[in-house]
Structure 1
Amino acid sequence: MRGFGPTVRGLAGSRAGAVLLPLLGIVVVVTVWWLSTSVLNLVHPVVLPPPQDVYAAFELRAERLLEHTLVTTTSTVVGFALSTVAGVLIGLALASSQLVERMFSPLLVALNAVPKIALAPLLVVTLGWGQKPILTMVFLLCFFPIVLSTATGLTSTPADLAELVRSLDASRWQAFRKVRLPAALPQIFVGLKVAMPLATIGAVIGEFQAAEEQGLGFMIVQTSGMGDTAAAWAAIVLIAAMSIVLYFSLVLIERLFLPWVRETTSAR
């Protein structure tokens, strides 16, 4: 038993563990789900159908579900990209000027505090049905963490690096390009990773209200209204799977473009 702990830690830090441990987590969750619904009957099947019923509903509507998944994924990625561009630019403006930061930070906080679900009907009235209100909902949900992380990263340059730049008499642009931006990138990616699941939530909320018979959010509303909760849960499972893929795609991008971060800040 003494060697069990190091073996587990070694598995957690290995490439095989990066694949096997998430799969093991999924198996545990599905097993608990099956026991709760099929064996112990702790949850009514109308509320949470057994996993085998959800799988049967997926098989029955696989092609349609995958089409809706593609629509929701597209809305999520496009909205996330728009919020990334806008969020980084706004964060850059806040970090570059104390005057701008003091003028607009309270307004950004106030906008972020407004429940976005309350804005959904107004977006439909203003922008109509379709992609515009959905993308706007994605943008509103996920741009604030990107703004905050960008501004924080750009204003938190290590003191020794800032002193080195001053000693070399570098221009403001050189200091930004060579020191401030690279030093801020890990913090910016933190905001991006927080925002990515929020983008998925925004896309689904937007589809609840404004979808033109497309998207997983629309399918959840439609199938739930028909009493087909197994199909609704199949759509929910696909939303979760899509969110996982998008999030870890972003993690992979971070590791490819910022390899030094993991090597210098992580002991695992």
Structure 2
Amino acid sequence: MADAGIMLSHRSERSFGGAARFKGLLWPLASAALALGIWALVVILAKPAPYILPAPWDVLARIWTDRSLLASHGLVTMAEILAGLLISIVIAIPLGIAIVAVPTAEKLLYPIVVAFNAIPKVALAPLFVVWFGYGFLPRVLITSSIAFFPILVSTISGLVGIEPDLLRLARVLRAHKFQVFLRMRLPHALPSIFAGIKVGTSLAVIGGIIGEFVASDSGWGYLLVQASGTLDTTIMFAVVIILAVVASCLFSAVGLIERMMVSWHASQRS
């Protein structure tokens, strides 16, 4: 009887978890339906010119009819976004660790990083083209430069935000600095690091488009520039919708990885 009760409890937990995940998917769908409904209502009531505000059904139809064109340009933009995001993660997290671990590095490097972040990346884009040519690399560098700063700041904030009582306990137990970092600082900082990566994913999408505005002959940003010159608002809205979906999917993917790696944290228990 006890075994049967345990099996029933496990089944109920699995069914509850599945129902919770299903409800979690319903909210983004409901939000999308609400946005499309408001858009359609504005088009029906205001009757704007199609080149000013196309109808949502026209935009969705355009996505389907031009799916090959959008997909071919999308491969370029997605490669830039993912490469730029990966580069920013690979550089920002170790740099944040170095700034926290070495006080001299914080005094020497952090002001430079803050000053670099204050520079408008649109102003840097032409320089990247001059330095690295008119191709894939400058667009990736623009993307990574935009996504870099929030990941770095979140890493530093997470590493220094550990409870002082835990550090005092580690000193009492004579733990080595590397042990303190590996067992205390890094696990404590993971939620903050993932929060920075989530922000970085959205900024990487923006950075990829900015790079294509400046130096590109392909990609979704290139399509936007070409469509704006011909007042093809329908394809512009199609690209904007796709970019919103891509950013949401990347954000959700990072959230899924966070739930797997930081399942013990209080933010994931709900």
TM-score, normalisation: structure 1: 0.89
Instruction: Give yes or no for the alignment of 1:166 onto 2:171.
Output: yes
5+ residue gaps, structure 2: 1-15
1:151: which partner in 2? 156
Instruction: List structure 1 segments (4+ residues) > 6 angstroms apart after TM superposition.
Output: none
SS of equivalent to 2:264: helix
Aligned partners of 2:129 and 2:138 also within 8 Å? yes
The farther-off stretch of 90-99 and 27-36 is: 90-99
2:225 counterpart of 1:221: yes
Name the CA distance, whole Å, in 1 between partners of 2:105 and 2:48: 53
8 Å CA contact retained: 2:74, 2:220: yes
Structure 1 range deviating more: 223-232 or 24-33: 223-232
1:135 to 135, 140, 147: 140
Query: What letter is aligned with 1:116?
Result: K
Deviation at 1:56?
Answer: 2.2
The reply to whether residue 196 of structure 1 matches residue 201 of structure 2 is yes
The residue correspondences of 1:25-40 to structure 2 (distance < 5 A) are 25-37=31-43, 39-40=44-45
Residue 243 of structure 1 corresponds to: 247
Distance 1:249 1:265 in 2: 17
Of 53, 57, 66 in structure 1, the residue corresponding to residue 58 of structure 2 is 53
Measure how far apart 1:165 and its partner are: 1.3
Q: 3-state SS of the aligned residue for 1:260?
A: coil
Rounded to whole Å, the distance in 1 between the matches of 2:47 and 2:91 is: 46
Q: Distance in 2 between matches of 1:253 and 1:227?
A: 41
How many pairs does the alignment contain?
A: 254
* Deviation per residue, 1:167-207 (Å, 9 max, x gap): 22111111111111111111111111111100010001101
Superposition CA RMSD, Å: 1.9
Match of 1:6 in 2: none
2:166 is paired with a residue whose SS is helix
AA aligned opposite 2:208: A
2:269 and 2:174 map into 1 onto residues whose CA distance is 35
Structure 1: stretches of 5+ with no match in the other structure: 1-9
**Shift of the alpha carbon at 1:216?**
0.6
Residue in 1 aligned with 2:70? 65
- How far apart in 2 are the matches of 1:267 and 1:86? 30
Q: CA deviation at 1:47?
A: 2.6
Contact 2:263 2:269 in 1 (8 A): no
Please, which moves more after superposition, 93-102 or 132-141? Answer: 93-102
Aligned to 1:260: 264
**What amino acid is the match of 1:249?**
A
Contact preservation (8 Å) 1:76, 1:138: yes
Q: Which of 55, 80, 83 does residue 85 from structure 2 map onto?
A: 80
Q: Which shows bigger deviation, 46-55 or 186-195?
A: 46-55
Q: Which moved more, 1:224-233 or 1:13-22?
A: 13-22
Q: CA deviation at 1:42?
A: 6.4
Secondary structure class of the residue paired with 1:136? helix
What is the alpha-carbon distance in structure 2 between the residues aligned to residue 257 and residue 231 of structure 1?
Answer: 39
- Distance (whole Å) between structure 2 residues aligned to residue 184 and residue 243 of structure 1: 24
Three-state SS of the structure 1 residue aligned to 2:46 is coil
Give the aligned residue type for 2:224. I
Task: Report if aligned partners of 1:95, 1:152 keep a CA contact under 8 Å in 2.
Answer: no
Instruction: Tell whether 2:209 aligns with 1:210.
Output: no
1:14 and 1:42 mapped to 2: Cα distance? 40
Instruction: Look up the equivalent residue of 1:133 and give its one-letter code.
Output: P
Find the aligned partners of 1:44 and 1:99 in 2 and give their Cα distance: 60
CA shift at 1:99, angstroms?
A: 2.0
Residue 20 in structure 1 maps to residue 35 in structure 2: no
SS at match of 1:14: helix
Q: TM-score, normalised by structure 2?
A: 0.89
Question: Aligned partner of 1:61: which letter?
Answer: D
CA shift digits 1:16-68 (9 cap, x unpaired): 2211111011000001011112x112654323211112122212211110122
Which residue identity is paired with 1:244? Answer: S
| Cα shift at 1:95 | 0.5
- Relative distance call for 1:144 and 1:178 in structure 2 (3 A) is same
- Conserved in 2, the CA contact under 8 Å of 1:69 and 1:238? no
